[in-house]
Amino acid sequence: MTADRDTASVSGVSLRPTVSGLGGGARLIRVGIVDDHPVYRVGLTRSLEREPDIAVVWEGGTIAELDDWLERAPVDLVMVDLNLGPNQDTLGAITRIRDKNDAVKVIVISGSLDWESASAARLAGANGYLPKDLNVADMVAAVRALSSPSFGRRAFTDLLTDRPSGAGATLPLRKRLSRREQEVLALLRRGQTNKEIAGKLGVSITTVNKHVQQVLKKLHVRTRVQAVAMANAEASGRPFLGLETRG
């Protein structure tokens, strides 16, 4: 996939160049980004555009003309900052997007994660809620997961509604996992593959695969991305807001 990175500014939004589809029947994921912090927005745009199957169609800092952007340049997924400033009703915008086109997924990105905000985003119709400091690999994985037709309708995990009632409501990860499983999870957090982990620990890839499956089972998550997100959330003291498939 190739594209000239020059952009055209229309009504406060940067419309990205049209990108041709991928060969071999692969599906190009079209993304729109709304965030009022230019440095973060541009950084996220560039990070996503390094992926051959993702194209940022437009990006801007306000939701004032979001409906017009979606009509001019349709996308598969919108990533929107929860806190866009005065007179910016992000939750209302999410509801409008989902009401008009259920096929368009919405990921809320926020620098401040809390249960109340996440619950409000969920009720508004958002399909995901991600921290802005999430590493690029996990952000890309979330975009791909939510955009894939094979994943069906996405929603927040039930962990969101099961709000902890106290500090001891959930066991720390280190008490749920064996020492070896903790080592595997730590290496997963560094972005290492099963092959790399096997070399680091001096075991076979088959053994690593078994450890990874045990980590997922004990943490009650479906993917390694979710396991890493859970570990990162615990390390930073914020709630884990994962995603699950709804049939």
Domains of the chain by residue range:
8-156, 173-236
- Greater confidence, 213 or 138? 213
Decide which of 168 and 52 is more confident: 52
* Fold (CATH) for 8-156: Rossmann fold (3.40.50)
Whole-number pLDDT of residue 162: 39
- The architecture in CATH of the region 173-236 reads Orthogonal Bundle (1.10)
| Cβ contacts of 93-99, under 8 Å, gap ≥ 24 | 93/63, 93/66, 94/121, 94/124, 94/125, 94/126, 95/124, 95/125, 96/66, 96/67, 97/66, 97/70, 97/125, 98/124, 98/125, 99/125
Best mean pLDDT range from 160-164, 165-169, 191-195: 191-195
**Please, which pLDDT band fits residue 139 given cuts at 50, 70 and 90?**
confident
Q: pLDDT (tens digit, 9 = 90+) per residue, 106-117?
A: 999 887 666 667
Q: Pick 124 or 160 by higher pLDDT.
A: 124
pLDDT per position as a tens digit, 175-219: 788 889 988 988 988 888 899 999 999 999 999 999 999 998 888
- Indicate the pLDDT class of residue 165, thresholds 50, 70 and 90: very low
